[in-house]
Amino acid sequence: MGTGKRGLLTAAVTVVCAVTVLAAPGTAFAAERPTPGGSATPGASAAPGATPGASPSPAPPPNKDLEKVRARLDRLYHDAAVATDAYNAAEEKTEKQSARIEVLTQKITEGQEKLERLKDQAGASARAQYRTGGLPPTAQFLLSDDPQRFIDGAGTVLNGQRATDKLIGEMTRTQRDLRDYADDAAAQWRKLEVNRKAKATAKKRVERQISEAERLEDRLEKKEKERLAQLEAQAAHKAQTKWLDTGVLDDVKGKASEQGRKAVEFATAQLGKPYVWGAEGPDSYDCSGLTSQAWADAGRPIPRTSQEQWKQLRHVDVEDMRPGDLVIYFPDASHVAMYAGDGQIIHAPRPGRTVTVAGAGTMPILGVVRPDA
């Protein structure tokens, strides 16, 4: 959280207390599942001797140790993706609560100023009464011997009483509003603290998983890394081919909407930028950071995380998808990509990779959602 935001929250608490190009396709996060083709990425096991076609030349049959490494990397990056989603969700809630506290702080400040003005009016009324000898207006006009003055005084008293009632009512409402604002701000502060802790926990988990994956990869020899990259590329190519062979694209003829076209253009312009967990541009992205920013640029804000995008956006059949739609992957909705047409997606794969193009079928598809439905 930045210094400005901390200052805002401190001010809020104080007030409350006072009141009362297409880069080689990369992989997504998965555990022992197919991953995007065309790049060195963790993914599902490739059948030995599988022919990748246009993909890199076949690698020698893998040894069991290398397969274990690949499976371990898959699990680590998948866990990192889940933790990243948890971090992003907590961050989004934190921002909303901070904004709410800012609004409440302003309302509390305005309410206090209003209450001070009302107190000044009440004081002025009390001083006026003192200047008339302490007699209230009712007693003054009842003691008058002048009939006309009596009549005029009756109207004055009635108006004065109304003004007094209004003043008392306004003060009561203002005090009640201040208490409500203070209670609301205190509740938002408690929620903020809960989500700050959730962010911190998720951050530690992300960093731990990524650090372990990096250490594991660093222990590989150069030739082992090359073989691992070939295996990953083969697995991704095999998964994409199997998906295409189902004929799924035969019925996919949807054309992008105007907003969908803009979202794809934005995503395309980010190709080659690095994946950084928790990032949403402009220099780096994670998977849902890319899709949410692309649609925000197209004029359609959507939820920040892949899981919330899956929950909140309209679901469409794979056969009905069109460019700009979001493809959600894995049973836990831990990865999201943007469909770009012709069976391809644009996505931010995982740490160590860049925003890239991959086959839409290189990971197990959970479903498709449409932001501008």
Kindly list the domain boundaries of the chain, sorted by start residue.
3-103+203-370
For 76, the token pair is 């680590």
Which residue out of 17, 78, 237, 287 is catalytically annotated? 287
What residues in the chain have per-residue pLDDT under 70?
A: 1-64, 125-163
CB 341 within 8 A of CB 268: no
Q: Tell me, letter by letter, the H, E, C secondary structure of 167-198.
A: HHHHHHHHHHHHHHHHHHHHHHHHHHHHHHHH
Torsion on CA atoms 220, 223, 225, 228, rounded to nearest 10: -120
Question: What is the length of the chain?
Answer: 373
Instruction: Count CA within 13 A, CB hemisphere, residue 193.
Output: 7
Q: What CA–CA distance (Å, rounded) separates 152 from 264?
A: 77
Nearest to 359 by CA among 26, 15, 33: 26
* CATH node for 3-103+203-370: 3.90.1720.10
- Looking at residue 267, what is its pLDDT? 97
- Looking at residue 203, what is its pLDDT? 85
Residue 347 annotated to the active site: yes
pLDDT in tens, 160-217: 566 677 777 778 888 888 888 888 888 888 888 888 888 888 888 888 888 888 888 8
Three-state DSSP at 162 gives helix
Q: Which residue matches tokens 């594991």?
A: 216
CB 368 within 8 A of CB 313: no
- Looking at residue 171, what is its pLDDT? 80
- Looking at residue 128, what is its pLDDT? 65
Residue 78 annotated to the active site: no
Which residue out of 17, 237, 315, 335 is catalytically annotated? 335
Q: What CA–CA distance (Å, rounded) separates 371 from 373?
A: 6
Q: What CA–CA distance (Å, rounded) separates 331 from 365?
A: 8
Element (H, E) at 367: strand 365-370
Residue 315 annotated to the active site: no
- pTM beyond 0.85, yes or no: no
